[in-house]
Structure 1
Amino acid sequence: MIVRHLQEAEKSDRRIVSEGWESTRLLLKNDNMGFSFHITTIYEGANLHLHYQNHLESVYCISGEGSVTAESDGVEHEIKAGSIYILDQNDKHNLRAKTEMKMACVFNPPLHGKEVHNAEGAYELDAEEVKDDK
């Protein structure tokens, strides 16, 4: 069994801060579960252009308000507490935060832990691993 606490993970190498967002990676590839699980904060006013070419992602909004737009159809979807969006087609999308948004994110394949977005808004498959106690 693996037990982790968000408040402790936020004070470790599991917390990654980047432009417009930060993510605390609670479950990673080296945990051997086949997916990774993160709590991600999207900062108020952020406008992120993302395209997870190497990963599928499900995102559940815990708090805050914003929108997500798939570039394929241009339809803007309101995101608020209780909403989930699923990027099941490696969708190129824009995520906008009207207020600070707290999100629970699942990635398949799992992230190693140190990933940040590349120029295309994707995570690389061979990123550096977070090394810490289980």
Structure 2
Amino acid sequence: MNHDKVIKLLKKHRSYKFAVNNGVAPFVEEEVGMPFSSNYGSRPPRLPGMRGTIDSSLEDFRMYSRIVRQVEGALNEVLDDQERDVIRMKYLERNKLTLERIAERNHMHKNTVTAIHKRALDNLSTALMFVDVPEIIELDNVVINL
């Protein structure tokens, strides 16, 4: 896996995790979406123009769950503390930071943070080599029924 694919996985990680935790999946009115969600049944999403089935919902749930587990496993098992912190601040936090800002915050030279970032991406590229970047459904037009 190249750095671009790893970066896509990291940038979408919060969306995948949200989808798994909140039951967001293609929905059919007669059926439920993503049945393993903790919110199952209480607020199934409706996506205008999209139709899904229980099978496609289960497939999405399994795929997103697998991606979340693999990314989090790689972050925790493959990266050292500095690498994980740089990746977390750059890609995973709600308020993402640039490498320059990460360097300032940690009282480090930008070149040092850049080297840590590159090393982390190299390690993640190896660890996530066989992981594909799944598309996540577009959430801009989701209507949730309460």
Q: Give the TM-score normalised by the residue count of structure 1.
A: 0.26
Higher-Rg member (1/2) = 2
